[in-house]
């Protein structure tokens, strides 16, 4: 009987060790994010009101992202030059603009992502298939959090959830593809097409 108990304990410890081995470290995740210079992906977005949007995403680090939403939506969201521009192509007019630093997305668009910085990560777990990291700006936690989901082998960003004053928005990526240099004009709000 004692031998069975010891065998069961050893099995549990082995399984626990195997699960922890699959969890990516904060250093590995920071290095992966810093390796992304330009990337593209299709995305599915679940908005705070439960509606679903789809579109194409382009990222150019540091500081640039573009969300082109599929019809029937006519929305475009750009981050560039330290600002976020939210445009409704159908309505026209001037975009709504606010500082990128006031959004949790700024954490992964930063020039040097360092998730090991004190107060940056408020959650780090492994759910059996992916590593999930919840981060916030330690100087401005009131701007919200971003929950990032990464698979390993190879390491890949698969999803993020932004929780801020506007509610919760989930963005699932359909395979983030690192690309050659994306022209800066793609992120220029004055040259939107």
The mean predicted confidence, pLDDT, of the chain is: 86
Instruction: Give the model confidence (pLDDT) of 55-87 as tens digits.
Output: 999 999 999 999 999 998 888 999 999 999 998
Q: How confident is the model at residue 2 (pLDDT cuts 50, 70, 90)?
A: very low
Q: Show the tokens assigned to 14.
A: 């082995």
pTM check: above 0.85: no
The residue ranking higher by pLDDT, 91 or 136, is: 136
**Residue 14 has what pLDDT?**
36
**Residue 11 has what pLDDT?**
35
Q: How confident is the model at residue 158 (pLDDT cuts 50, 70, 90)?
A: very high
The residue ranking higher by pLDDT, 93 or 188, is: 188
Separation of first and last alpha carbons in the chain:
73
Domain ranges of the chain: 25-191
**Residue 54 has what pLDDT?**
96
Instruction: Give the model confidence (pLDDT) of 3-47 as tens digits.
Output: 333 333 333 333 333 344 489 999 999 999 999 999 999 999 999
Q: Which option is the CATH number for 25-191: 2.50.20.10, 2.60.220.30, 2.40.160.210, 2.40.30.10? A: 2.50.20.10
DSSP assignments along 67-132, one per residue:
EEEPTT--EEEEEETTEEEEEETTT-SPPEEEEGGGSTTHHHHSSS--TTSTTTEEEEEE-SS-EE
**Residue 193 has what pLDDT?**
57
Instruction: Give the model confidence (pLDDT) of 162-174 as tens digits.
Output: 998 888 999 999 9
**Residue 74 has what pLDDT?**
82
Dist CA 11 CA 18 (whole Å):
10
Dist CA 78 CA 70 (whole Å):
15
Instruction: Give the model confidence (pLDDT) of 123-141 as tens digits.
Output: 999 999 999 999 999 988 9
């Amino acid at each position: 009987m004692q031998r069975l108990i010891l065998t069961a304990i050893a099995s549990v410890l082995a399984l626990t060790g195997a699960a922890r081995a699959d969890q990516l470290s904060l250093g590995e995740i920071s290095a992966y994010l810093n390796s992304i210079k330009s990337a593209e992906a299709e995305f599915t977005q679940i908005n705070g009101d439960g509606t679903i949007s789809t579109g194409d995403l382009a990222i150019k680090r540091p500081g640039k992202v573009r969300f082109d939403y599929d019809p029937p939506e006519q929305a475009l969201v750009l981050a560039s030059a330290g600002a976020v521009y939210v445009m409704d192509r159908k309505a026209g007019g001037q975009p709504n603009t606010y500082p990128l630093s006031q959004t949790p997305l700024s954490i992964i668009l930063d020039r040097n992502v360092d998730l090991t910085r004190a107060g940056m990560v408020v959650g780090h777990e492994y759910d059996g298939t992916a590593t999930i990291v919840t981060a916030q700006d330690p100087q401005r936690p009131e701007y919200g959090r971003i929950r990032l989901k990464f698979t390993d082998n190879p390491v890949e960003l698969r999803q993020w959830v932004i929780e801020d004053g506007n509610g919760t928005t989930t963005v699932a990526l359909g395979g983030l593809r690192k690309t050659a240099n994306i022209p800066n004009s793609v992120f220029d709000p004055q040259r939107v097409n």
